[in-house]
């Protein structure tokens, strides 16, 4: 009996210690942080925090990326130029640059998101979507009417549909670059169209007295419109002088004189500088038909 006790008691003690040890291994440590870093997992696509070096243009900036200053071009948008070696300063370029500059300089956080294609262009600039305190800079520019959707090169087209929808709203509201007819075209910005529209607007604002004088002359039988000749109506007027003289005469950015009949593809979008009653009159005045 004494021999049994001598072996049983130590055996029970060993089993008890073993069980207690296993229990400690299975219990979680309340001081252990089991959460995951979600700095990027909160978003559908990874974002990379960067710091601003400086704003270069409305659509171009320099950021500190991987330890050095890198030039960055915003994907899928284009703003008027402010320092282009050939194009110089384009209308609303300074406004677009200042808007981008203020947003970036006041931001608490700037992040980049790359698309699935190349993340650099032929000039070695980074190509990315830029987030300013969580809001995409491209969308902000489009909403203000400071940018157009451009440079659509697959596969870097993740947000092109979203951008075009925003652009369409800005166009409908005639915001920024969209206030001036024909200033924005498929191949970029056309300052000559902007200046033409601006001068027409200025003339309309300050021409009340001239209009009254013209109306008085018409009343007295001194109308300056003869009904014949190569040029009819007021230069730059969007309304034809009568129902028969509906051919639009326009001078494009290259200085080419082109006339558009009602059958021309771009007739509705053309801002006329003068009107003609016949194609012969237009040709005689040095205008040609459109090539397409």
Residues designated catalytic: 73, 81, 125
Residues 6+ apart with CB under 8 A from 183: 91, 177, 189, 190, 191, 193, 194, 197
Residues 6+ apart with CB under 8 A from 191: 90, 91, 183, 253
Contact between 80 and 179 under an 8 Å Cβ cutoff? The reply is no
Helices 137-144/160-172 angle, 10° precision: 20
H or E stretch covering 3? helix 2-26
Residues paired with 248 in a beta bridge: 260, 275
For residue 246, the 8-state DSSP code is: -
Contact between 279 and 261 under an 8 Å Cβ cutoff? The reply is yes
SS percent in the chain: helix, strand, coil, step 5: 35, 20, 45
* Cα distance between residue 289 and residue 91, in whole Å: 29
């Amino acid at each position: 009996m004494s021999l049994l006790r001598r072996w049983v008691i130590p055996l029970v003690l060993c089993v008890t210690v073993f069980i207690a040890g296993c229990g400690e291994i299975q219990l979680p440590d309340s001081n252990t942080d089991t959460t995951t870093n979600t700095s990027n997992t909160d978003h559908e696509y990874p974002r990379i925090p960067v710091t601003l070096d400086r704003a270069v243009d409305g659509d171009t900036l320099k950021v500190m990326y991987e330890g050095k200053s890198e030039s960055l071009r915003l994907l899928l948008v284009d703003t008027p130029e402010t320092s282009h070696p050939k194009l110089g300063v384009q209308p609303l370029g300074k406004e677009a640059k200042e808007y981008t500059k203020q947003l970036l300089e006041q931001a608490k956080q700037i992040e980049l998101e790359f698309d699935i294609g190349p993340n650099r262009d032929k000039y070695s600039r980074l190509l990315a979507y830029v987030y300013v305190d969580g809001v995409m800079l491209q969308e902000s520019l489009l909403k203000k009417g400071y940018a157009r959707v451009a440079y659509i090169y697959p596969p870097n087209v993740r947000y092109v549909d979203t951008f075009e929808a925003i652009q369409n709203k800005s166009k409908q509201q005639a915001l920024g670059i969209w206030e001036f007819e024909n200033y924005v075209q498929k191949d970029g910005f056309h300052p000559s169209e902007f200046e033409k529209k601006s001068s027409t607007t200025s003339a309309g604002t300050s021409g009340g007295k001239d209009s009254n004088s013209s109306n008085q002359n018409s009343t007295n039988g001194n109308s300056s419109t003869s009904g014949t000749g190569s040029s009819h109506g007021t230069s730059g007027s969007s309304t034809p002088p009568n129902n028969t003289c509906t051919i639009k005469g326009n001078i494009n950015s290259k200085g080419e004189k082109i006339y558009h009949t009602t059958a021309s593809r771009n007739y509705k979008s053309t801002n006329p500088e003068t009107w003609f009653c016949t194609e012969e009159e237009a040709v005689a005045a040095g205008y040609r038909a459109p090539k397409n």
